[in-house]
Structure 1
Amino acid sequence: MNAVADKKSVAFYTLGCKLNFSETSTIARDFDKQGFERKEFEEAADIYVINTCSVTENADKRFKSIVKKAQKQNKDAFTIAVGCYAQLKPEELAAVDGVDLVLGATEKFKITDYIHQLSKDEPAQIHSCEIDEADFYVGSYSIGDRTRAFLKVQDGCDYKCTYCTIPLARGISRSDTMENVIENAREIAAQDIKEIVLTGVNIGDYGKGEFGNKKHEHTFLDLVTQLDQVEGIERLRISSIEPNLLKNETIELVSKSRAFVPHFHIPLQSGSNELLGKMKRRYKRELYVDRVKKIKELMPDCCIGVDVIVGFPGETDDHFMDTYKFLSDLDISYLHVFTYSERDDTEAAVMEGVVPMNVRKKRSKMLRGLSVKKRRAFYESQLGKTKTVLWEAENKEGFIQGFTENYVKVKTYYNPELVNHLQPVQLLEIDEDGTVRVDIL
């Protein structure tokens, strides 16, 4: 009898991005098909699956504490690591006390094939391909745990940004077929999910063939045009998209769209053209200004989020203040601030001009402060307006929360009948916790 034949419960933990959430959900559905009972991660389960991230050093460190948490729930449980960190550093993860199985980029989608080979009293098994072999596409989406779904449309990246390990962890850029994306969107809509967030590593690159060939069968514009016509989807949201791949035609489509909402998240990384060059980004700051102007011209209430990295090698005080002023003057709504951390096997890790960690943290704090001001100013600009909110399930101290189409976080007194409903509201005032109080219309 195999080691886990009679094991019937499984729990999942996801670190990192929306793409990881969509893939965890797909893996979880494979367990469902095999008859496993789904448990919360805080409960005792027979198998724990941890989907890892390697974008920052912090994600690496968190992995160990999550394994400990699983072991505390059930010391005899099997713990499996999958995802980006598992592809990049499989031996490192396998050495963590309590880990039984490590699966790389392609193997994670065959997880149920491996679990029957597990034995608790043996060293951790590693099944990890060479990343060049990650040349096929597995579609996925998350569902069932929230009022929105994350729909994966693309994987991998052909860009060579000098700070990034994602191409090493996920392989070349490849896309789902149009037919499959539309089918997945219909499946999601049929389950009364009101909002779909499109996700991937570099979604603006959508169209590269299913097996990584460079033949562009469809473009990102084709994709969003088709999705906008799928019945039953109330809202579509584009997650992160590179500024050089966000074309005028896409912005124009969103501005006239039935379902796409006025919200873009556009990575910048630095406001210094010199640093953008060192990062091997594929645009200059002038293009970024053009994108923001075009969006605001067509959609004045559009929410624009920005990724920015502080402390990249060679970033002087002048470079940083240049970025700070650039962002301060830009008509954007919030920032995601990343403190640069050295990643093995990246060009930036061996660059000169290392910025001391205390300086990185100080700069990060300054930009996070700027983000708070930007979000506040954006929220204030929306007060008095009528927007539509998608209400979420959680009861937070007697309040229900949700997001408007343009990503303003709002709240009103909790009413379970509102959950997963889209409702027109008037935005009244910003509360102490930063959310906006609304009047239901």
Structure 2
Amino acid sequence: MEDPKKVAFYTLGCKLNFSETSTIARSFKDEGFARVDFSEAADIYVINTCSVTDNADKRFKTIVKQAQKANENAFVIAVGCYAQLKPEELAAVDGVDMVLGATEKFKITNYLNDLTKNDMGEVHSCEIEEADFYVGSYSFGDRTRAFLKVQDGCDYKCTYCTIPLARGISRSDSLENVLENAKKISEKGIKEIVLTGVNIGDYGKGEFGNKKHEHTFLDLVKGLDTVEGIERLRISSIEPNLLKNETIDFVAQSKAFVPHFHIPLQSGSNEVLKAMRRRYMKELYVDRVTKIKEVMPDACIGVDVIVGFPGETDEYFIDTYNFLNELDISYLHVFTYSERENTPAAEMDAVVPLKVRKKRSKMLRGLSAKKRRAFYETQLGKTKTVLFEGENKEGYIHGFTENYVKVKTPWDPALVNTLHQVELQEIGEDGIVRFSYVEEKAVV
């Protein structure tokens, strides 16, 4: 009997991409392919691309070379956001044989009749307007956590962003489907689900992006809270204008949703927010943070912020810095603005020099470290529940509390994917918290 053909995957970018890679991988498995690690020799290499930062664009060529090194005769396929935005550019990269756009990537195995290497990559790419159907996805980041896709696409017109061009209109999975996928995850013994999508607070728009909201984000949250066997549910990233009081109140008393929110801000200057075409002012952001802390004092709040947007003067940047410094938040994800083709921001005047962007980015990263430590300090002496992860990192096993405090203890494989009540004791030199068990390794 002939050995099965081998396929390997590499994912760049966000949690959503990871969930979609897993779905694509399952379609290969259904066709009889054997999945191997990307560093091993395979017949087909699939690279799921990202276009959010310049860095992700540049990394693509390096990854193609890595695949060629493992097997120079392998068939290399590019999918994902960058593949939708610039298919011809990717097809021209040496070693790339096929590029599939936003709708084609989920039918990938239909394109595999001929695996002969090409001089130039073959492109199968739709107009983004055709990306009007929904494909549900979920992935297992490791044995402890799964990313569950609930929504795709975006109807917002932020001036810096290419995601609507890469992923199309906002559309959602049916509640029935989401709950079915959550049950499948639960049956695999996974303890935590992270909800993912492009704009998950917009959940409810039908399969074809119609405006009829059959279910709301609150319905989704309430439905998932009833799934048996899932110990933790985490909302990945939600726009401040879509995070409603009802959702915050529900999470505060929910059995599975954890007190951890990631809320994009992008700028602490209302003038910059207007230029970005964000759908809120900073006052609303303060209101959301205040509400969360009111009902969940120990909640962890993460913030996305972009530095160096066109027109961000020194004064506007200092406004952002001071705003974040005074806000009761826990950590920052800092993005240095980079020009993206076909976005209004790329045409704007008052461009911030790259050197200044990098300096501002460094300042905010320093603030993030300070904020995280200050948040961790408020948690010392408290009893929390830790879910341990599956990797041995230099003799230690790491885990996270429900409110996203990172802890570590000497490696013990028996701890993987188990929950334990601990008392948080001290912050180590590496910024990670040490703890003691409330009851000797008592599993919750």
* TM-score bin (small chain): over 0.9
Residue in structure 2 matched with residue 324 of structure 1 by the alignment: 321
- Name the CA distance, whole Å, in 2 between partners of 1:123 and 1:307: 38
2:295 to 279, 298, 302: 298
- Name the CA distance, whole Å, in 2 between partners of 1:106 and 1:144: 24
Check the 8 A contact 1:150/1:196 in 2, yes or no: yes
Check the 8 A contact 2:4/2:32 in 1, yes or no: no
For the residue of structure 1 that corresponds to 2:112, the secondary structure is helix
Residue 386, structure 1, aligned to residue 350, structure 2 = no
Deviation (angstroms), 1:6: 7.4
Deviation (angstroms), 1:35: 1.2
Alignment deviations for residues 378-437 of structure 1 (CA, whole Å, 9 cap, x no partner): 111111111001101111122110110000110111111110001111111111221111
Q: Give the 5 Å matches for 1:261-272.
A: 261-272=258-269
Deviation (angstroms), 1:123: 2.1
Q: Give the 5 Å matches for 1:21-420.
A: 21-143=18-140, 145-420=142-417
Residue identity opposite 1:221 in structure 2: L
Deviation (angstroms), 1:438: 1.3
Residue in structure 1 matched with residue 442 of structure 2 by the alignment: none
Alignment deviations for residues 12-43 of structure 1 (CA, whole Å, 9 cap, x no partner): 11000000000000000111111111111111
Return the TM-score normalized by structure 2: 0.97
Check the 8 A contact 2:265/2:305 in 1, yes or no: yes
- Name the CA distance, whole Å, in 1 between partners of 2:279 and 2:326: 22
Deviation (angstroms), 1:212: 1.1
Check the 8 A contact 1:385/1:426 in 2, yes or no: yes
Residue in structure 2 matched with residue 426 of structure 1 by the alignment: 423
Residue identity opposite 2:309 in structure 1: F
Runs of at least 5 residues in structure 1 that lack an aligned partner in the other structure: none
Q: Quote the RMSD (CA, aligned, Å).
A: 1.0
Runs of at least 5 residues in structure 2 that lack an aligned partner in the other structure: 439-444
Check the 8 A contact 2:97/2:118 in 1, yes or no: no
Deviation (angstroms), 1:143: 2.3
- Name the CA distance, whole Å, in 2 between partners of 1:121 and 1:258: 54
Deviation (angstroms), 1:108: 0.3
Check the 8 A contact 1:206/1:219 in 2, yes or no: yes
- Name the CA distance, whole Å, in 1 between partners of 2:3 and 2:198: 37
For the residue of structure 2 that corresponds to 1:306, the secondary structure is strand
Return the TM-score normalized by structure 1: 0.98
- Name the CA distance, whole Å, in 2 between partners of 1:37 and 1:364: 43
1:9 to 6, 9, 32: 6
Deviating 4+ runs (over 2 angstroms): 143-146
Residue identity opposite 1:281 in structure 2: R
Alignment deviations for residues 34-68 of structure 1 (CA, whole Å, 9 cap, x no partner): 11111111111111111000001111001111111
Alignment deviations for residues 203-248 of structure 1 (CA, whole Å, 9 cap, x no partner): 0000001111111101000100111011111100000000000000
- Name the CA distance, whole Å, in 2 between partners of 1:23 and 1:204: 19
Check the 8 A contact 1:78/1:100 in 2, yes or no: yes
Deviation (angstroms), 1:200: 0.2
Deviation (angstroms), 1:7: 6.2
For the residue of structure 1 that corresponds to 2:342, the secondary structure is coil
Residue identity opposite 2:435 in structure 1: V
Deviation (angstroms), 1:117: 3.0
CA gap 1:404/1:210 in 2 versus in 1, 3 angstroms: same
Residue correspondences, number: 437
Check the 8 A contact 2:406/2:432 in 1, yes or no: yes
Deviation (angstroms), 1:87: 0.1
- Name the CA distance, whole Å, in 2 between partners of 1:144 and 1:315: 37
Check the 8 A contact 1:393/1:420 in 2, yes or no: yes
Check the 8 A contact 1:7/1:46 in 2, yes or no: no
- Name the CA distance, whole Å, in 2 between partners of 1:383 and 1:116: 59
